[in-house]
Amino acid sequence: MPANILSGKMIADEIKSEVAAEAASLRDQHGIVPCLVAVRVGEDPASSVYVSSKVKTAGELGLRSEQIHVDADITETELADIVSGLNTRDDVDGILVQLPLPKHINERRVLELVDPAKDVDGFHPVNAGRLMQGHDTLVPCTPAGVIEILKRSNIEIAGKNAVVVGRSNIVGKPMAMLLLHENATVTICHSRTRDLPAVTRQADILVAAIGRAGFVRAEHIGAGATVIDVGINNVSDKDLARELFSADDLEKRFAAIDKRGFTLVGDVNQREAMERAGAFTPVPGGVGLLTVAMLMKNTVKAAKMRRGFFNAAAN
């Protein structure tokens, strides 16, 4: 029996509706319109698309948004001054510095300049520390979205074996912490894990976040496991696409390659996962759709926390 596909779109739409209702309540009861400011450096096409999507979604949900776009040759000091200025603006609730930054700019230094109270990406070391200690805080959007998918799909987390493949600060590590806080027993795997398939097959919940197209195959998946594919990779090779997708999906994948030069794929071999897993998030259409929704949720949360009336028990 093929795996149950977990729809990222349906869950993202639910979260956006909730965010819109919260934003309307803040506006009507307190005269507050949560504000997100996105800082984009240079002309990276993907960054342009991502920022435009975030700004557009904010407007649709009743949030105010601004985009600050600067040339790629901006100095690190000049960019730091922009971030520092946004920190001092009381009308700004969320600050997003779109990555990647040009190579001459130290990303870590710039991200650490963001006021933790406005760090809606959840990347600041202060928020990472709060997450590790189990305090309520602003959490990285993608792993937070994974938890929403699991909970809203009625997939039990407490007491389950969860395996995270990948140890990045953006996804892998916070993902492990969030699963641990939900009372899963968590294992983190990486490039030096010995006999990776033997470890991942023990997972009731398997999260793939390593950035390698189709890396997780049937041998990595225990029968009936829930497989969450966080990866987003571009594949232009039709032979590789043929390995990753079933026959009924290949036509649209080939059409995408012919039209755009690539098709989006995850870190999991979708064809094999569909035959082995109990539930599965596809790419596209899965976790990626939750990231923007959770960014909007974090912006409203930041607006409430900064003003001292965030109710942790209700959120």
Sign of torsion over alpha carbons 22, 99, 213, 174: negative
- Rounded to whole angstroms, the Cα distance separating 256 from 253 reads 5
Three-state DSSP class for 288?
helix
Q: Which residues pair with 187 in a beta bridge?
A: 163
What one-character DSSP code corresponds to residue 69?
E
Nearest in space to 265 (alpha carbons), one of 234, 229, 227:
234
* 98 is known as an active-site residue: yes
Peptide bond into 102 cis (omega under 30): no
Structural tokens at position 244? 């990753």
Peptide bond into 284 cis (omega under 30): yes
Query: Given 93, 115, 119, 121, which residue is catalytic?
Result: 121
* 54 is known as an active-site residue: yes
Cβ atoms of 36 and 271 closer than 8 Å: no
Cβ atoms of 115 and 95 closer than 8 Å: yes
- Rounded to whole angstroms, the Cα distance separating 231 from 258 reads 22
What one-character DSSP code corresponds to residue 2?
P
Q: What is the DSSP string of 163-194?
A: EEE---TTTHHHHHHHHHHTT-EEEEE-TT-T
What one-character DSSP code corresponds to residue 90?
T
Cβ atoms of 266 and 272 closer than 8 Å: no
Query: Given 93, 98, 173, 229, which residue is catalytic?
Result: 98
User: Active-site positions?
Assistant: 54, 98, 121
